[in-house]
Structure 1
Amino acid sequence: MLIPQTRNIGLPMMNLMRFKGLPILQQLHIEEKLLRTTSENWCIINDGTSDPAIVMGVSGKPAELLEIGSVLRDQVPVIRRFTGGGTVIVDHGTIFVTFICNKEAVLDLKPFPRQIMSWSSLLYSKVFQGIGDFHLRENDYVFGNHKFGGNAQSITKSRWIHHTSFLWDFEVRNMTYLKLPKRAPEYRLARGHLDFICRMKDYMPRSTFINKTVEATGTQFSLRSIMSEEIESCSETEFYPSTRLLTDKELEAAAVAGQ
């Protein structure tokens, strides 16, 4: 059953799906399926994920990005997602927001990475209006010069996806699993993780951010809420996701190759 939420005549339709604590691997499988097998626009909001996990971009190299020994010792899952972008460790303190759109969904938006980033930053400017010194810096969302949102994208022939991991909170210990990346934004200035990132909870309540994100999205799309159990009926196409867990053997081999 579709539940109407906002009906703005003249705006493109977008399905809104909200989750709480959905495992990030399951979320990424849903996103990839919706991107590749449907022709509708989607906004997916997942308020936290059940257990800590490391998520790498499609071309990420574990030996360059991870402290593999610690990851294996503590059995932290490592996921290679289907989109580009960097590496992040996510947990219950991470809020995920994803937009999946047809190329013609946003008026005058050309489906190229920088244009999509610029569009998203304008949308989030509404969310963070009057809060902190929010802006898009290179490919990150920041307050001042501290990152709190990392982005990843994928663009297909007729559609695109833009998803963000927002650090509402994070465990300091978890950051030790990540190496300083060789390719980093200039504004990072070789800062360590804890000097580079900040917590959104120091700026706004969790529920306020989620509600404002829905409100901002509703200014550009006509939203309708859809239940998670309806996903299976959205597409009858058989689908096999490329997003997957890396095995211990793969991580061990990467560590040896990186020595």
Structure 2
Amino acid sequence: MALPQAIKAGLPCMNLLRMTAVPILEQLYLEERLLRSSAENWCIINHGTSLPTIVMGISGRPSELVELKPVLRDQIPVIRRFSGGGTVIIDNGTLFVSLICNKNAIPGLQPYPHPIMSWTGQLYGQVLCEFGDFHLRENDYAFNSHKFGGNAQSIIKDRWIHHTSFLWDYDARNMEYLKLPSRAPKYRSARSHVEFLCRMKDYVPSRTSFIEGTIKSLGGHFSIRPFDLDELGSLSSSLSGSTKLLTRQELEEACTSQCVAVR
């Protein structure tokens, strides 16, 4: 009996889950569940999310990162995710790609933030270098000196996740909900959000070409197995995780504390 190609090639399996417009909160619930309770490798791709939403890192403070008055006025959801990294606002123009891997899945890759970031930079570089002057700049993906991809990571005992929000397109008005970060990469050079960011659609021919190129690039390291969302059941689970949708009360209290501090 012939052995499966993945076994003959000696490549680990990676489950590929493709989704469209799944709310980012549900996606994060799913990712945390798979990181902590699965023993398999996963690539999760989501085309956009249903509503504009702000997502902060696990240690993020709304008073320092978010323009709270307009966020409260316009009822913009704010999520604190389970991974580190910075703050983003995402919408239906955002592409999400998340890689969840066992620490031994990629030979020679040390399970620490910088080596993982370097590896993913090379992975996406294989896809994007033909479309523009692609760089991994500090912890961002950029064309020339303009960021289009923000990254976050979480590393646990035997596994890690690297997830990225790619700005295929964005509404410049939404960027007004975010404060300028107090800690920013040097290459930002104090530029505003709109001056600092770029849109992937201005460089890459189509979303499909980027996604298919990414899957092909992953195929050099894994045997890709398409996976159906229905096989996972409900995206949310009883697993007690760190991802949290902040309540209006929490945002109002942060806004009140901020106003008192300013006085």
TM-score, normalised by the number of residues in structure 1: 0.94
Residue in structure 1 matched with residue 26 of structure 2 by the alignment? 26
Listed one character per residue, the Cα deviations across residues 6-58 of structure 1 (whole Å, up to 9, x for unaligned) are 88721111000000111100000000000000110000000111111000000
**Could you say what secondary structure the match of 1:49 adopts?**
coil
State the Cα distance separating 1:196 from its structure 2 match. 0.2
Residue in structure 2 matched with residue 105 of structure 1 by the alignment? 105
What is the aligned length? 254
Listed one character per residue, the Cα deviations across residues 97-153 of structure 1 (whole Å, up to 9, x for unaligned) are 000000000110011000000000000011113111101000000000000000000
Is 1:217 matched up with 2:218? yes
Residue in structure 1 matched with residue 203 of structure 2 by the alignment? 203
Look up the equivalent residue of 2:219 and give its one-letter code. G
**Could you say what secondary structure the match of 1:95 adopts?**
strand
Structure-2 change in CA distance of 1:8 and 1:91 (3 Å): farther
**Could you say what secondary structure the match of 1:241 adopts?**
coil
**Could you say what secondary structure the match of 2:48 adopts?**
strand
Q: Within 2, Cα distance between the matches of 1:91 and 1:252?
A: 23
What is the correspondence of 1:130-169 to structure 2 with a 5 Å cutoff?
130-169=130-169
CA RMSD of aligned residues (A): 1.9
**Could you say what secondary structure the match of 2:9 adopts?**
coil
TM-score, normalised by the number of residues in structure 2: 0.93
Q: Is the 8 A contact 2:6 2:12 kept in 1?
A: no
Q: Within 2, Cα distance between the matches of 1:112 and 1:29?
A: 23
Residue in structure 2 matched with residue 193 of structure 1 by the alignment? 193
Q: Within 2, Cα distance between the matches of 1:47 and 1:151?
A: 16
Residue in structure 1 matched with residue 115 of structure 2 by the alignment? 115
Q: Within 2, Cα distance between the matches of 1:96 and 1:202?
A: 18
Q: Which moved more, 1:94-103 or 1:241-250?
A: 241-250
Unaligned regions of 5+ residues in structure 2, if any? none
Q: Which moved more, 1:209-218 or 1:76-85?
A: 209-218
What is the correspondence of 1:1-259 to structure 2 with a 5 Å cutoff?
9-204=9-204, 205-232=206-233, 238-258=238-258
Q: Is the 8 A contact 1:5 1:223 kept in 2?
A: no
Structure-2 change in CA distance of 1:90 and 1:257 (3 Å): same
Q: Within 1, Cα distance between the matches of 2:255 and 2:78?
A: 14
Q: Is the 8 A contact 1:5 1:225 kept in 2?
A: no
**Could you say what secondary structure the match of 1:42 adopts?**
strand
Look up the equivalent residue of 2:240 and give its one-letter code. Y
Following TM superposition, where does structure 1 have runs of at least 4 consecutive aligned residues deviating by more than 6 angstroms?
A: 4-8
Unaligned regions of 5+ residues in structure 1, if any? none
State the identity as a percent.
60
**Could you say what secondary structure the match of 1:51 adopts?**
coil
State the Cα distance separating 1:257 from its structure 2 match. 2.0
Q: Within 2, Cα distance between the matches of 1:233 and 1:181?
A: 35
